[in-house]
Structure 1
Amino acid sequence: MNKADLLQQIIKQLTTDLALLLAAAKSAHAAATHEENIPDNKYATLALEASYVAQGQANRASEIRRALEAYKQLDSRTIATGTVRLGALVELTDEEGATKVVFIGPLEGGLKILHGGREIVVITPASPLGRELLGKAVGDEVESANSEYEILRIT
């Protein structure tokens, strides 16, 4: 698997997510400030609710912008040290022989990318599995969420 291509896919997905979120925030802001939504009594809260939604979406957009910057600065050409670290692509196998691939990213854990016909899940060093994986090598075993995994490959 090509990590440079994977990073570009992550950046593209985050860019798409940001564009959608900004459009939704703009729509919520328009609803919050529309003249028809001006409250005429204390029970008319549509404008207030729309402003809360707009603020939440703006906060999320800010998080995605930070993630985009972090991924743009991540170097896909880092030389493999033999241990799991930030930017590593790690293939794991569980007790039943099922494999999964995770990418140790700086932010946006939980993001799923289809790359090379396989699903790759982005995890962060702050996640339970990410914490367990950091510093481990091929052949090491880690435990997370009542599952045990063996590290098959690190790139």
Structure 2
Amino acid sequence: MNKVHVIEHIRFALEAKLAEAKQAADSARIDATHEQSAAETQYDSLSIESGYLAQGQSERVNDAHKSISLFEQSFDLQNANKVTVGSLIKAIDLDDETHWFYFGPSEGGLKVTVKKQTVLVITQSAPIGQVMFSKMIGDECEYQVGSQTYSFEILDIF
């Protein structure tokens, strides 16, 4: 797996998320200021609701900008000997299935596909991120979510 390709796919995914958030914010802002949104009676709350929606969508845009900035700072092409923010991790589970993770500063759960391989962005706030952080090649990482136990062995860190 080429780390540069993974980073580019993550960049594209974050830019797409930003574009979607901007479009939703623009649409919500137009709806909130449209003449049909004006209150007709004291009990008509459509304009208030539209305003809250526009504000929430604007916050999504700000969050997307923040995520892009954090990721730009985390992209590191140097191979590390332990898992840190910016690491691309190749791991294997108990069923001998290979998994790819990118340890990001935010956006945990984001998935990108690179050459038919899914790469999952994980963060230190997630259970898997908590157990993988600072681990080295050959280390085992086990964590539990509810009654389900997950176990991975780190095969490589890029």
Alignment TM-score, normalising by the size of structure 1: 0.92
Per the alignment, residue 152 of structure 1 pairs with 155
Per the alignment, residue 45 of structure 1 pairs with 45
**Amino acid corresponding to residue 45 of structure 1 in structure 2:** S
Q: Secondary structure at the match of 1:73?
A: helix
Counterpart Cα distance in 2 of 1:66 and 1:22: 14
Counterpart Cα distance in 1 of 2:90 and 2:75: 19
The Cα offsets for residues 61-101 of structure 1, whole Å up to 9 and x where unpaired, read as 111101111222234322x2321111111122222222211
**Cα gap change, 1:13 to 1:81, in 2 (>3 Å):** closer
Query: Aligned pair count?
Result: 154
Structure 1 unmatched ranges of 5 or more:
none
Contact 1:103 1:122 in 2 (8 A): yes
Counterpart Cα distance in 1 of 2:152 and 2:2: 23
Shift of 1:49: 1.3
Question: Which runs of 4 or more aligned residues in structure 1 lie more than 4 Å from their structure 2 counterparts after TM superposition?
Answer: none
Identify the range of structure 1 (21-30 vs 2-11) with the bigger mean alpha-carbon deviation: 2-11
Shift of 1:31: 0.8
Per the alignment, residue 114 of structure 2 pairs with 115
The Cα offsets for residues 7-55 of structure 1, whole Å up to 9 and x where unpaired, read as 1211111111111111111111111111111111233222211111111
Counterpart Cα distance in 1 of 2:80 and 2:68: 25
Per the alignment, residue 138 of structure 2 pairs with 139
Counterpart Cα distance in 2 of 1:118 and 1:75: 20
**Amino acid corresponding to residue 39 of structure 2 in structure 1:** P
Counterpart Cα distance in 2 of 1:112 and 1:82: 24
**Amino acid corresponding to residue 131 of structure 1 in structure 2:** Q
Per the alignment, residue 92 of structure 2 pairs with 93
Contact 2:83 2:89 in 1 (8 A): yes
Contact 1:87 1:105 in 2 (8 A): yes
Per the alignment, residue 63 of structure 1 pairs with 63
Contact 1:92 1:150 in 2 (8 A): yes
**Amino acid corresponding to residue 47 of structure 1 in structure 2:** S
Considering only aligned residues, what root-mean-square deviation do their CA atoms show, in Å?
1.4
Structure 2 unmatched ranges of 5 or more:
none
Identity %: 33
Alignment TM-score, normalising by the size of structure 2: 0.90
Counterpart Cα distance in 1 of 2:74 and 2:154: 23
**Amino acid corresponding to residue 152 of structure 1 in structure 2:** L
